[in-house]
Structure 1
Amino acid sequence: MESLKDKVAVVFAASGEIAGAVARSFAQHGAKVYVTALNLNAVKALAEEIKANGGRAEAGKVDALNETEIDTYLQKVIADNGKLDIVFNGIGSYYKDAGSGTPTTIATFEQFMNPLQRICGSQFLTSRVAARYMIQSGSEGTILLLNASMARTKTPNMAGFASACAAIEGLTRVMAAEFGRHGIKAICICSGALMETNKISGMINDFAEKFGISREEMALNYTRFDILKSGPTLKQLGETAAFLVSENGVVFNSHVVDFDCGKLNLL
């Protein structure tokens, strides 16, 4: 099924597991995908994988926190294609840098600000530069943002990360309201913990050691509120992203879409 046939997509931070899954899905559904990251070798390998599977992809080195680099790269995409249909940013933050797991009374101001500047800040930069080029080129595209369910759970010791996630939800709604008159959509995927990822696995191992409990007991903190027996997967996230940026996904414009298979503790 080529629901994204002839669409032009740019994926930032594509060296990560989530953005990589999204890029693969975009390509499988027919989009021409530009995969970018600081780690050029990683996105080159991703682009080659996509092409080996019959897709179209090009790799580039872009710092998703550098507005000049973002602008230069998107200008190239527009010059090559005359339009920009889809932008997705999968940037994350190392949990220790963000003070995750540290009580609010102990976490430093730098730790609190880290995810706000890095995660929300990067989403702001890539989204607004993309919107400029979508407006200039008449591309009625989709800006797809990413955050985590921490925005709406009552989880202690996660002040910076939870605040950044909530900020991204607000940013999504503001941009949808601003850019809608140009036919540009803004949607946010709010992902629950993806248990297969290295990031979640690493956090479980580290927190289990920190609190002196077993890995299995620590893992229950991520799944105890699941409504179903199985949680979301990377492949499902990629497919969800592809649907949201397709013509049928337009009904979710301005929305924050929960991606977690259902949680009892999510507001």
Structure 2
Amino acid sequence: MENLKDKVAVVFAASGEIAGAVARSFSRHGAKVYVTARNLDAVKALAKEIKASGGSAEAAKVDALNETEIDNFLKKVVSDNGKLDVVFNGIGVGYSEMGGRPLTTVATFEQFMAPMEKICGSQFLTSRVAAKYMMQTRSEGTILLLTAALSRTKLPNLAGITAASAAVEGLTRVMAAEWGGDGIKVICICPGAIMETKRISGWIDASAKNLGIPSEQLVAQYKALDILKTSPTLKQVGETAAFLASEIGAAFNSHIVDVDCGKLNIL
């Protein structure tokens, strides 16, 4: 099924595993996909893979924290296509960028603010620039943000990224309210821990080392909270994004959409 046939989609931070999965899904559903990241080689490889599978993709180097670069790139996309239908920003932070898991009483202000600036700041920039061009071209498109379930859990020593995740969800609701009159949907995707990603496996290993327990024990503790006793996959996240960006996903707007197969510890 080509739910996004003839749509123009831009994926920021597409060198990441989640954003890459979303880009592949957009392409499978018929969209012309632009994949961007600071790592040009990575998105070139992704575009090549998409085209080899019969899709349409172009790669570009764009820093999703640089508003000028974002604006210049989206301006070119609109100039080439006359519209902008879908934007997804898959930016995230690495464990090292948070300075490990320092106690809130020990973490520096810079460590606390780093996830806020990178995660929430980037979503703010890419979303508002995309909305501007969607309004100009009357595209009535979809802006998809990404958050983490930390926003609604109670894990210690993660003040910065937890606050940033909650901020992205609040930002989603505000932007949806502002831009809905122009036919623009704003939705936030919240995947559970995707075990097949390097980010989660690295986080598990680092956390287990910090806590002094085997990584297998930490995984078992997390999986014990699965309602269906299964975990989400990258492909499921990508397919969910494609559904939300399609016309049949129009019922979702301003929502935080959990892609976690159900977790007992998340509201």
Global fold match (TM > 0.5): yes
Structure 2: runs of 5 or more not aligned = none
Question: Is the partner of 1:97 in helix, strand or coil?
Answer: helix
2:140 corresponds to which residue? 140
Q: Map 1:121-200; keep pairs closer than 5 Å.
A: 121-200=121-200
- Aligned mates of 1:243, 1:185 — CA distance in 2: 13
Question: Is the partner of 1:96 in helix, strand or coil?
Answer: helix
Q: 1:125 to 1:203 in 2, by over 3 A?
A: same
> Letter of the aligned partner of 1:190 in structure 2?
C
How many residues are paired up?
267
1:68 corresponds to which residue? 68
Q: Map 1:213-228; keep pairs closer than 5 Å.
A: 213-228=213-228
2:90 corresponds to which residue? 90
Q: Map 1:186-265; keep pairs closer than 5 Å.
A: 186-265=186-265
> Letter of the aligned partner of 1:175 in structure 2?
M
Deviation at residue 204 of structure 1 after TM alignment: 1.3
Q: C-alpha deviations, 1:197-216, integer Å up to 9, x for none?
A: 00111111122222221110
Question: Is the partner of 2:96 in helix, strand or coil?
Answer: coil
The alignment-based identity, stated in percent, is: 70
- Aligned mates of 1:111, 1:97 — CA distance in 2: 8
- Give the TM-score, by structure 2 length: 0.98
> Letter of the aligned partner of 2:2 in structure 1?
E
Indicate the RMSD between aligned Cα atoms, in angstroms.
Answer: 0.9
- Aligned mates of 2:200, 2:47 — CA distance in 1: 25
- Aligned mates of 1:120, 1:148 — CA distance in 2: 11
- Aligned mates of 2:118, 2:89 — CA distance in 1: 12
- Aligned mates of 1:158, 1:142 — CA distance in 2: 30
Deviation at residue 14 of structure 1 after TM alignment: 0.2
Deviation at residue 158 of structure 1 after TM alignment: 0.9
Does structure 2 retain, via aligned residues, the 8 Å contact 1:100–1:159? Answer: no
- Give the TM-score, by structure 1 length: 0.98
2:5 corresponds to which residue? 5
Does structure 2 retain, via aligned residues, the 8 Å contact 1:228–1:262? Answer: yes
Structure 1: runs of 5 or more not aligned = none
- Aligned mates of 1:240, 1:4 — CA distance in 2: 12
2:34 corresponds to which residue? 34
